[in-house]
Amino acid sequence: MFNILKTAVLMAAITALFMAIGAMIGGRSGMMIALLVAVGMNFYSYWFSDQMVLKMYNAQEVDETSAPQFYGMVRDLAQRAQLPMPRVYLIQEDAPNAFATGRNPEHAAVAATTGILRVLSDRELRGVMAHELAHVKHRDILISTVSATMAGAISMLANFAMFFGGRDSEGRSHNPIVGILVMILAPLAASVIQMAISRAREFEADRGGAEISGDPQALASALQKIEHYARGIPMAAAERHPETAQMMISNPLSGGGLRGLFSTHPSTEERVARLLAMR
């Protein structure tokens, strides 16, 4: 119930941002158009955003024939978690990472990069996939998928406001400085919304994943190894779609600055410390 409330709050906040930017672009009529767009985006995000994200990463669905060991691992963990079997995807990407998506446990998918399969041991990989299934079990995969889709849409709308300007309800042009501020602040506001709900979610998925796998040390080791290897391997798809970074088990974005300041992931050190304390 609490996650349903969080999803509703997220959609309301994103809709308000849409309307504010719409008002900047076209005054009152722009605000109403933005409201209609936001309602449509919320509907689309609920039903189809998981497929959009999987396409962004060119994820390929696998089964017991094409990836028997990995598929069997996910199936075993799903049974331990008392979850329906999710769809399983692989991403041809050297950077080690993984995520879960979907609107509910009955329509869930988990995806992992080929890089994470190479660098982690079977035990560590079980810990990672258990973490992703914990997201499914906690029903917060919808929140992350919707927020990724809507944050990307806000960034595009903010850029539109910058390059095409805007008018108030009287038809007067806005100060171009306002457009620049909207272009900068609107995506940051979307990031703050994501950050507010994402960091606590990661801690809960770590705890839940450790309980599903029965091996908190394995997940702790996996997180340390992922961070170590990811530093030297950029994840191109995540760099192109930074709004999806909060879906990953570990922050895939390179660079610091504002990206680091508004990171949706807690520090690896703190996550590892909490996992080791579960022993």
Catalytic positions: 132
Residue whose C-alpha is closest to residue 244's, from 111, 110, 145, 116: 145
3-state secondary structure of 149: helix
Give the helix ranges, DSSP H, for the chain. Answer: 2-56, 68-80, 114-119, 122-137, 141-164, 176-213, 216-230, 236-240, 257-261, 268-276
Residues with Cβ within 8 Å of 180's Cβ and at least 6 positions away in sequence, in order, are 162
Other CB atoms within a 10 A radius of the CB of residue 8 amount to: 10
CB 94 within 8 A of CB 119: no
Angle (CA) 149 151 157, round 5°:
105
